[in-house]
Amino acid sequence: MRYSIFTVLGQAMSGQKGWTPAWREPSPKATYDVVIVGGGGHGLATAYYLAKEHGLNNVAVVEKGWLGSGNIGRNTTIVRSNYGLDGNVPFYEWSLKLWEGLESDLNYNVMMSQRGVLNLVHSDAQRDAAIRRGNAMRLHGVDGDYLTRDQLRPILPFLDFDNARFPIQGGLLQRRGGTARHDAVAWGYARAADQRGVDILQNCEVTGIRLNSGRVEGVETSRGFIGARKVGLACAGNSGRVAAMAGLRLPIESHVLQAFVSEGLKPTLPNVITFGAGHFYISQSDKGGLVFGGDIDGYNSYAQRGNMPVVEDVMAEGVSMIPAMSRLRVLRSWGGIMDMSMDGSPIIDKTSIEGLYLNAGWCIGGFKATPASGWCFAHTIARDQPHALNAAYRLDRFATGHLVDERGAGAFPYLQ
C-alpha cells in the first residue's frame, strides 16, 4: 500500500479498517545472498540500499528482539553534519542529503524537521574553534554560520547569556540540521526494504557465525541455521559480542548513554541547542517534551540504564544553560548501549574473514548517520570494497595510525 493524502482520506471515510501491515513476517529461508545482523536503523537501512542501489533482493535482516528495539528508538533524534575532519564531513553531509530526501524516497513520514543545530561557545578559544569548524564545513559545501551573542539574544531569549561561569559568546549554527522521528526511521526503512523483497526476521537471535576455512557460511540463530554468502554486522552496542562469535576482537568498548524527556510544554525551543561548557544537547519534540542528554556514564556497561552522577551532571548543565528548566519535571529517563570506538569514529569495512563485513563503533552519534551508514555499508558489502565516503572508517586504521579522532580524546572510550 502506497501512503498518500488520498489513502489517509480514504481510510478516514472507511473507518480506518483497510490498513495493511507495514511489513511481512516471513519464515527464514535456508539461504540468502546477504544476511544483516541487527534490525536497528543501520541494519534496516543497509538492507534497503542493498535492494535499491545494488539490486540485491535476496536479503534478510535478523533481529534478536523486535524491530528497532535498540538505539534507533533510544536516541535524542538529532540530525546534523557539523563535523571538522576530512574523513567525517563528506560522509555526514551525504547522510544529511539522504535525510533531506528520505521521506519521498521511503514513502514514509519520518518527521524530518530542519530546525537548525546550534553549538554554543563560552570562551575565546571555543569561539575560534567553532569558526574554524564552520569554515571547514563551508569548504566542503556544508552550511554553517557563526552567530554572535547579540545575534542570538533575540532568537533565544531564555538562554543564560550572562552566566557568571559560562557566559555565552555566540554559537555555530547549522540551519539544515534538526531532528527526525527516530522510530519512524526504523519503520520507514523496514517497510521500504520489505517492499523490495527483504525478509525481516524478528525474534531471531544470532547465536553463532559459521565459518569454513576463513569464509563465512551463514549464521546460527534461535530459529535455526541461515546460510549466507555474505554477512554484515550492524549490532551497535552488541558488536563485540557478535564479532567474538567469529573470533574477532574489536577496538570497541560498550558503554551506557542516558537520555531524558521532560513534561510537555508549549513550543519553547526553536532548534537543537548544545551547551559548550560541558556536553549537553536539547531539543523539543513535536509532542512538546524537552528531549536531552549529555555524556556517557563512563564505565563499561551492557545494562540499558545508568547511574545518578550523570543524571545530576546533565540536569546541572541544562539549568546553567536554560535556568527556566529548573521548574520542569523529568518524565522519563532511559539508557542505550553505545559501541564506543577507540578514536570516537565508526568502522564500516570488510573484516579479515571473507564475506564478513562490519558496521560498528558509532559511539554516541549513530542516529544522524543512519542513511549514509546503510548506504555506504550496502556499497561495501555489494562491491566488496569501501566507497570513497567511508574510506576513512577502516578497521585497520588503529594499526596503521590513520585515526579519525574528531574529539581528540585519545584511545580512551570512557572519555569520548
Give CA–CA dist 176/144, Å, rounded.
Answer: 9
CB of 298 to other proteins, least distance (A): 5
Q: Is 158 in the site for other proteins (CB under 8 A)?
A: no
* Nearer Cβ to other proteins (283/301): 301
Q: Is 75 in the site for other proteins (CB under 8 A)?
A: no
Closest to 272 measured CA to CA, from 259, 262, 285: 285
Would you call 174 helix, strand, or coil by DSSP?
A: strand
Q: Is 392 in the site for other proteins (CB under 8 A)?
A: no
Which of 11, 195, 203, 300 is in the footprint of other proteins by CB under 8 A?
300
Q: Is 309 in the site for other proteins (CB under 8 A)?
A: yes
* Nearer Cβ to other proteins (93/297): 297
Strand 289-300 with 199-201, pairing: unpaired
CB of 237 to other proteins, least distance (A): 10
Which of 22, 316, 328, 411 is in the footprint of other proteins by CB under 8 A?
411
Contact predicate 98/371, CB 8 Å: yes
- In the numeric block, the cell 570497541 is attached to 252
Give CA–CA dist 319/337, Å, rounded.
Answer: 26
Which of 299, 332, 384, 402 is in the footprint of other proteins by CB under 8 A?
299
Q: Is 307 in the site for other proteins (CB under 8 A)?
A: yes
Q: Note the Cα 227 to chain centre separation in Å.
A: 29
Q: Which grid coordinates are listed for 194?
A: 520489505
* Nearer Cβ to other proteins (225/398): 398
Which of 138, 241, 383, 402 is in the footprint of other proteins by CB under 8 A?
241
Which of 70, 298, 361, 386 is in the footprint of other proteins by CB under 8 A?
298
Contact predicate 52/191, CB 8 Å: no
Residue 309 CA: distances (Å) to CA of 167, 316, 326, 336: 24, 11, 17, 17
Which of 270, 286, 302, 352 is in the footprint of other proteins by CB under 8 A?
302
Strand 199-201 with 117-121, pairing: unpaired
Q: Is 308 in the site for other proteins (CB under 8 A)?
A: yes
Give CA–CA dist 104/175, Å, rounded.
Answer: 21
Give CA–CA dist 83/139, Å, rounded.
Answer: 12
CB of 303 to other proteins, least distance (A): 6
Site for other proteins in 323-362 (CB under 8 A): 342
Strand 280-284 with 272-275, pairing: antiparallel
Q: Is 266 in the site for other proteins (CB under 8 A)?
A: no
CB of 415 to other proteins, least distance (A): 9
Give CA–CA dist 179/65, Å, rounded.
Answer: 26
* Nearer Cβ to other proteins (53/312): 312
- Region of 45-53, 156-164, 293-301, 349-357 interacting with other proteins (CB under 8 A): 293-301
For 324, phi then psi, to 5°, come to -60, -20
CB of 136 to other proteins, least distance (A): 27
Q: Is 240 in the site for other proteins (CB under 8 A)?
A: yes
- Region of 18-26, 249-257, 346-354, 364-372 interacting with other proteins (CB under 8 A): 249-257
Q: Which grid coordinates are listed for 126?
A: 571555543
Contact predicate 226/218, CB 8 Å: yes
Q: Is 57 in the site for other proteins (CB under 8 A)?
A: no
Give CA–CA dist 352/357, Å, rounded.
Answer: 9
Q: Is 221 in the site for other proteins (CB under 8 A)?
A: no
Question: Which parts of this chain interact with other proteins (CB under 8 A)?
Answer: 240-241, 244, 249-254, 298-303, 307-309, 342, 398-399, 411-412, 414
